[in-house]
Amino acid sequence: MYETVVTNVRLIDREGAFNIGITKGKIDAITKDEIHGKNSWEGYGDLVLPPFVELHTHLDTVLTAGKPVSNQTGTLAEAIEIWTEAKSRLDIEDVSRRAAEALKLLISQGVLFIRAAVDISDPDLRALQAVLKVKETFSSIIDLQIVAFPQEGLESKENQEKMECAVRMGADGVSAVPHLEKTNKAGIDSLDFCFKIARKYEKFIHVFCDEVDDPNSRFLESLAELTISQGMEGKVSASHAIALAYYDDDYAQQVIQLVKQAQLTIVSCPLVNSSMQGRFDAFPKGRGITRVKSLYEEGVNVCIAHDDVQTPFYPLGSGNILQAAHLGMHLAHMTGTSELKAGLEMITAHPAKGFMVEEQYGLEIRKPASFITLPAATLTELISHQPSCRYVFKNGKLVSSTQPKMTTWHVPF
């Protein structure tokens, strides 16, 4: 007799219906045999997956789109302008309330590992104070990594001190935005500073890298080289890497090899970047994502993230990471059956590696019983329909359940 049993679920790569037995919060059995538990949940033939992992979101800006003004041009420049004004009068209670609301949205859609970049350029690090508070509140349900994110750069002494202060307050990782610094040299210096702090406090690095439609933005190469020279392989991620799509093929291939050697995790954000990038290109316009397919084929740990949910940077978004995978597979030209499987890996196993939780992650005996079930018969159906999770389990406990949508016909056929 197990403590909890979830019956009649399908695995992505095995035929037939399985039952999962849970003991002391761990997976104790995955079997076709009939098993019984003190608590039992009917799985209705749903797909069962390990939880989704969101490697790039923002809990300080979240759910502020249109409050009080909307980004009319849709550009990064106008978004930064709106956010700069808003953060000058940021209220800790307001940030906490929005962050909590967003986390509930993500959790109910199966995301149990979340990496959130928090802007550290507001007065008194209020955004960070708020997100740290929310992290504490949700600590039994999700793993939340906070990245100290210097939206206004790292050139000034003041911003450098804020970065160090953020780490002392509890940020788990550090970031830089080299392409937004005033000069190329300042961009390289920002990466150097980021590595200095990461090594001093033993933190991971997650850089917002080359988020521009400009082949001259070459910070990904520098990031990979620094990762190798500083011995931080496997502990560094880069979001966006849009410029890689604009490099000529020879240079792009050279950078991809360096990225692979450095064991960088590359995070593509197709929802935000397909709408924001390519705006100023002449036709034909860029697709707004990095070279996802080439990176994947070369064995780089490439991931897809949802990124913003209703912010000045991106007014849309439901927090459903399957929507990001769905769009990502379109933009990356990856709609073959095995490529759709790769798309699923990009929101599960790959970001779990970037999150550095591989040993605790996956549907395997003795691993934590944290998993999700979704009403879809096949992978193609899952990616096409992007359903909400029927069940979200964390360490053997049911966290949330959502009724699948159902259509009733009122006409004869």
Count of other CB atoms within 10 angstroms of residue 66: 13
Measured from the CB atom, the residue of 307 and 345 that comes closer to Zn ion is: 307
Tell me the closest approach of the beta carbon of residue 11 to Zn ion, in angstroms.
Answer: 33
Q: Closest distance between Zn ion and the C-beta of residue 399, in Å?
A: 25
Write down the catalytic residue from 211, 225, 339, 381: 211
Residues in Cβ contact with 110 at an 8 Å cutoff, skipping those fewer than 6 apart? 49, 51, 52, 321, 372, 374, 389, 392
Closest CB 285 distance from Zn ion, rounded Å: 21
Nearer to Zn ion, 268 or 301 (CB): 268
Nearest to 87 by CA among 121, 130, 47: 121
Q: What's the min distance (Å) between Cβ of 187 and Zn ion?
A: 18
With tokens 């994947």, the residue in question is: 296
- By beta-carbon proximity to Zn ion, the closer residue of 60 and 164 is 60
83 vs 76: CA distance, rounded Å: 10
Instruction: Name the residue number minimizing CB distance to Zn ion.
Output: 307
Q: How far is the CB of 224 from Zn ion (least distance, A)?
A: 21
56/390 with CB nearer Zn ion: 56
The nearer residue to Zn ion, 50 or 312, going by C-beta atoms, is: 312
Under the rule (CB under 5 A), what is the footprint of Zn ion?
307
Is-catalytic flag, 345?
A: no
User: Which residues have a catalytic role annotated?
Assistant: 211
